[in-house]
Amino acid sequence: MGLREKYKQAKAYRQKQLLDKFFVKSLLKKYRLTSMAAKEIGINTKRLKQAPRDHGTLFRRREQLVAKMKTSVENFLSRDDNSRVKAGKKSTKTHKKDKQQIRLLTDSLKTLHLKYTLEMDSKMSYSMFCRLKPFNIRHPKPSDRETCQCKRHENLRFKAARLKQLSVIATADLHDNTKHMVCDEMSKDCMYRDCNSCRGRRVPVDEFDGGQITQWYEWKTKRVERPSENDATKTVTMTVKERESGTIGNLVEEFQNELEKCCKHFFNIRNQYQSLKALKAKLTDKDIICHIDFSENFSCKYQEEIQSMHFGASQRQVSLHTGVMYTNGATESFCSISDNLKHGPVGIWAHLLPALEWSKEKFPNTENLVFVSDGPTTQYRCKDNFYLLSTVPFGMGFKSVNWNFMEAGHGKGAPDGIGAVIKRAADKAVLCGHDIMDAQSMQAAVRTSAVTPHLFLVEDDQFTEPTPNPLSDVRTVPGTMKIHQVNNNYVLQFCFFL
């Protein structure tokens, strides 16, 4: 084969460059025939003038770029609006001796990839996005039943899935259906259904037989009678998943009405997570955010137990109140332990006081205190807690207090992972020969673990209410169920005495 044909058929750039160097640099240049050979054979002499590639530098640059992209994807997927942490003590995954708490994605990877590219203004491919996903973040499985779900979300998903199966609506995705009802998902007026342009707008549906009977599932809370001792019956409240039946027309109407009410729910969730993220990014030396939650009570264990230990009053429990403190430049986790199982307002502040006193010693410049929690009315979101919020922190030196209640069913976060770490360390201590009989022995056993949060022991006498008790005279705050944020001005305005 002639040199011209061989040079033309060389597909790789590297092959042509080798031919250039071999003939031009080694032979033709020696006899000053470079120009003539370039014309006759077609060799490109410009390739010889290019600087040789430093493959080591290119590899290092590629590694740095991938590491930067991996960090960005990991931070994005670890946010509470994109994944939720599993609170179980066994809910961990280990990769190359790195043990991490499992997080479950709140949406499909395709949807999250689209959200990532829009939010980060990135052109990252979907395959690269999936490859950079952290090993401890995965899709939820049927076995992940201990994870709390939002009742409103789940009931809407059941209806949407059934209507999609009947080809009544185009998609079962709730957010895609919401887009058809509003002008702008980021607008409060639209999502609160106060916009004049999109008020009354509904999800488009295809033709269907409104009288046809169909079935779907729904979560319901109802009171049922159960047999008890002495052949008597007692009424208990249960939440069950039942199969509902009705016409397709009624199902479409219920879906449209519930989705319209949930637009406010969706907006509040998105706005809360975005505001919390922005608040963490703008923290000063005077600010501190405290994300708190009660963990499931821990059942005390001995290394060796007799059979009767598993029944009745012999099965003692320990209360755990977990939290994470965010400050400017530092993040600290903590857990208060007590034999007292009260979770009311008095119990909440009995658990909070030692943690806040410790934070004042560690961060003496803090003046603005922000709480983040879920909103159960028997614990955090009630008039007694509002009153204590307006009095206790100010006595400790704080000048501004703010309490934020996450939307119903969406209050899970970092504190749940702290509870899992504590319980896992306690179980490991029992296997190593320690007996955990009460809160004090649990604190001593867990402290021997390599990695534990700051532990505080709360004695039973710290749960006593003051005498005379001012909480008995506090009036109920109007619209308590609709409150998502409480600050010292709001509390002082409504929590007055009779």
289 and 266 housed in the same domain: no
Identify the pLDDT of residue 215. 92
pLDDT band at 495 (very low <50, low <70, confident <90, very high): very low
pLDDT band at 491 (very low <50, low <70, confident <90, very high): very low
Identify the pLDDT of residue 334. 92
Reading the block at residue 139, the tokens are 């899709």
Burial class (CB in 10 A: 0-12, 13-18, 19+), 481: exposed
Asked, for residue 60, whether it belongs to a domain, the answer is no
Domain of residue 79 covers 75-138
Among 150-164, 203-217, 412-426, the range with the most confident prediction by mean pLDDT is 203-217
Q: Is 278 within 8 Å of 356 (Cβ atoms)?
A: no
With left for phi above 0 and alpha for psi between -120 and 50, is residue 262 left, alpha or beta?
A: alpha
Q: In the chain, what is the straight-line distance between the N-terminal and C-terminal CA atoms, in Å?
A: 106
Identify the pLDDT of residue 290. 92
Identify the pLDDT of residue 337. 93
Q: How far apart are CA 422 and CA 444, in angstroms?
A: 12
Average pLDDT, stretch 137-147?
66
Asked, for residue 251, whether it belongs to a domain, the answer is yes
Last residue of a domain, one of 215, 244, 270: 270
The one-letter amino acid code at 325 reads M
Q: Give tens-digit pLDDT for 427-464.
A: 888 888 788 888 888 888 888 766 678 899 999 888 88
Residues of the chain with pLDDT > 90, as a percent, come to 16
193 and 86 housed in the same domain: no
- Which of 27, 48, 18, 47 minimizes the C-alpha distance to 36? 27
Q: How far apart are CA 498 and CA 492, in angstroms?
A: 14
The per-residue pLDDT of the chain, averaged, comes to: 80
Last residue of a domain, one of 211, 235, 270: 270
Identify the pLDDT of residue 309. 63
Q: Give tens-digit pLDDT for 381-401.
A: 888 888 888 888 988 889 889
Say if residue 256's pLDDT is above 60: yes
Q: Give tens-digit pLDDT for 58-98.
A: 778 888 888 899 999 999 998 877 887 776 667 788 888 88
Asked, for residue 478, whether it belongs to a domain, the answer is yes
pLDDT band at 295 (very low <50, low <70, confident <90, very high): confident
Asked, for residue 475, whether it belongs to a domain, the answer is yes
Higher-confidence position of 436 and 39: 436
Reading the block at residue 410, the tokens are 């969406």
Identify the pLDDT of residue 132. 92
204 and 233 housed in the same domain: yes
pLDDT band at 153 (very low <50, low <70, confident <90, very high): confident
Among 171-180, 247-256, 482-491, the range with the most confident prediction by mean pLDDT is 247-256
pLDDT band at 19 (very low <50, low <70, confident <90, very high): low
Q: How far apart are CA 174 and CA 255, in angstroms?
A: 10
Reading the block at residue 215, the tokens are 């079935």
Q: How far apart are CA 463 and CA 476, in angstroms?
A: 22
Q: How far apart are CA 191 and CA 303, in angstroms?
A: 55
Identify the pLDDT of residue 324. 92
Domain total of the chain: 4
Lowest mean pLDDT among 26-30, 34-38, 134-138, 153-157: 26-30
Q: Give tens-digit pLDDT for 202-211.
A: 999 998 888 8
- Degrees to nearest 5, angle at CA 321 with 435 and 497: 135
347 and 452 housed in the same domain: yes
Q: How far apart are CA 336 and CA 352, in angstroms?
A: 8
Identify the pLDDT of residue 308. 62
Identify the pLDDT of residue 250. 92
349 and 464 housed in the same domain: yes
Lowest mean pLDDT among 8-22, 146-160, 358-372, 462-476: 8-22
Last residue of a domain, one of 110, 138, 166: 138
Say if residue 497's pLDDT is above 60: no
Identify the pLDDT of residue 487. 80
Lowest mean pLDDT among 35-44, 100-109, 221-230, 343-352: 35-44
393 and 314 housed in the same domain: yes
Asked, for residue 459, whether it belongs to a domain, the answer is yes
Q: Give tens-digit pLDDT for 155-201.
A: 888 898 899 889 999 888 888 888 888 998 888 899 888 898 888 88
200 and 175 housed in the same domain: yes
Residues of the chain with pLDDT > 70, as a percent, come to 79
Identify the pLDDT of residue 278. 86
Residue for token digits 């250039």? 20
Asked, for residue 65, whether it belongs to a domain, the answer is no
Identify the pLDDT of residue 492. 43
263 and 179 housed in the same domain: yes
- Which of 326, 271, 250 minimizes the C-alpha distance to 81? 271
162 and 202 housed in the same domain: yes
86 and 162 housed in the same domain: no
Asked, for residue 69, whether it belongs to a domain, the answer is no
Identify the pLDDT of residue 456. 92
pLDDT band at 496 (very low <50, low <70, confident <90, very high): very low
Identify the pLDDT of residue 498. 27
Say if residue 51's pLDDT is above 80: no
Asked, for residue 355, whether it belongs to a domain, the answer is yes
Identify the pLDDT of residue 119. 86
- Within 8 A by CB and 6+ apart from 410, the residues are 150, 269, 272
Q: Give tens-digit pLDDT for 306-354.
A: 666 666 556 788 999 999 999 988 889 999 999 998 888 889 999 999 9
126 and 155 housed in the same domain: no
pTM higher than 0.95: no
DSSP code, position 26: I
402 and 467 housed in the same domain: yes
